[in-house]
Chains A and B, each alone.
Chain A
Amino acid sequence: MTSPRHRRAGMVRSHTATEGNGTLALGRLDDAALLIADPHRPRTGLTAHAQRVMDLCQPGVLSVSEVAYHLQLPGAVVKVIVSRLINSGHLTARAPFVPAGHYSEDVLLEVLRALQKL
């Protein structure tokens, strides 16, 4: 396992963080997708970076971009790690809302009201 000092110094190359696999396991993971951790999923066997993602996501919900920022990793690298954690059931992702159908009007009105109240 890499020492935290090396990680901070940026000595872990991107292909190491992603275990040499740059292919996204999922079709597309949005920068604004919210990540929800499953606290019951055993974390044995996860890589150091995957453990750090889980540490960050366990206490609450954050977006992919926030995870990348807090872990100081490039967005593309975080997406690979997160995609793998989604496939293994450790995380679920909630994609951003885009208007479709009647339901969207309620959401848009709620957004509007909240903005007006600011």
Chain B
Amino acid sequence: MHSKSFDHYVPVTAQPIKIVVLGPFAVGKTTFVSTVSEIQPMHTEERMTHAGQLIDNLDDLRGKTTTTVAMDFGRLTLSQNIVLYLFGAPGQPRFRSMVRSLMEGALGGLVLLDTRRIAESFDAIDQLEDAALPYTVAVNTFDSAPCYREEDLRDSLDIPAHRPLVTLDARHLSSAKQGLISLVNHILDRSRMEHAR
């Protein structure tokens, strides 16, 4: 984390860009957002109400009518012209509607992956594929987690060769930023390809 005070505003000339950080529970989304953010990362809990339950089941009101969704949110002023907003959201299917709305207007996505629980990142990948949003898969290294060769990981995740796959440590800025650099490079390649057509 760099300078940490929320009360400074972004440059008046800034254009916002948005990147979503997806992945399963405890994969390091909060850590990633905290490492990159210049402000105290904001942890919001959005209550998603299930209106139907209120009507259908009045006996069971105690805390059951709402589901709490945790979302991480950070900011990084890149220049006078650009301010990056990072949104970390859970990738489980039940959070789909929230993630879908976050993905609208996003530049791209970063999927975090823990090699001990590879399959748990599939949902996040599917959601980005469905939204046709460019994304990078980033293996967040944990000390106790097994190391696989890149081609084995690509195989098991079914990631094609043109899709970037990086390894990073979400705790350190110099490493964490590689995930974002890889994503932006990928988007740049895509945009160049579209122009060449």
A74 and B184 contacting across the interface, CB-CB below 8 Å: no
CA distance A116 to B195 in the complex (A): 25
Partner of A97, one of B8, B11, B16, B195: B16
* 8 A Cβ contacts from A18-44 to B: 28, 30-34, 36
Considering only CB atoms and an 8 Å cut-off, how many residues of chain B contact the other chain? 42
B15 / chain A contacts, CB cutoff of 8 Å: 34, 94, 96-97, 107
Confirm or deny: A61 has a beta carbon within 8 angstroms of a beta carbon on chain B: yes
B191 and A104 contacting across the interface, CB-CB below 8 Å: yes
B104 / chain A contacts, CB cutoff of 8 Å: 28, 30
CA distance A110 to B3 in the complex (A): 22
User: Which segment of B23-31, B40-48, B160-168 sits at the interface?
Assistant: B40-48
Considering only CB atoms and an 8 Å cut-off, how many residues of chain A contact the other chain? 39
A78 shortest CB reach to chain B, Å: 11
A63 and B85 contacting across the interface, CB-CB below 8 Å: yes
Confirm or deny: B192 has a beta carbon within 8 angstroms of a beta carbon on chain A: yes
B41 shortest CB reach to chain A, Å: 10
A112 and B191 contacting across the interface, CB-CB below 8 Å: no
A61 and B14 contacting across the interface, CB-CB below 8 Å: yes
CA distance A68 to B43 in the complex (A): 11
B107 / chain A contacts, CB cutoff of 8 Å: 96-99
A102 / chain B contacts, CB cutoff of 8 Å: 195
Q: Assuming A59-B9, A95-B105, A118-B177, is B18 touching A31 (CB within 8 A)?
A: yes
B82 / chain A contacts, CB cutoff of 8 Å: 97, 107, 110-111, 114
* 8 A Cβ contacts from A64-112 to B: 65-66, 68-70, 74-76, 94-99, 102, 104-105, 107-112
B42 and A69 contacting across the interface, CB-CB below 8 Å: yes
Confirm or deny: B159 has a beta carbon within 8 angstroms of a beta carbon on chain A: no
B83 / chain A contacts, CB cutoff of 8 Å: 34
* 8 A Cβ contacts from B77-131 to A: 78-79, 81-85, 87, 102, 104-107
A62 shortest CB reach to chain B, Å: 6
Confirm or deny: A60 has a beta carbon within 8 angstroms of a beta carbon on chain B: yes
A110 and B78 contacting across the interface, CB-CB below 8 Å: yes
B11 / chain A contacts, CB cutoff of 8 Å: 61
- 12 residue pairs from A and B, CB less than 8 Å apart: A60-B8, A62-B10, A63-B75, A94-B14, A94-B16, A96-B16, A96-B105, A98-B107, A99-B107, A110-B78, A110-B81, A115-B181
A interface residue numbers (CB < 8 A to B): 28, 30-34, 36, 59-63, 65-66, 68-70, 74-76, 94-99, 102, 104-105, 107-112, 114-116, 118
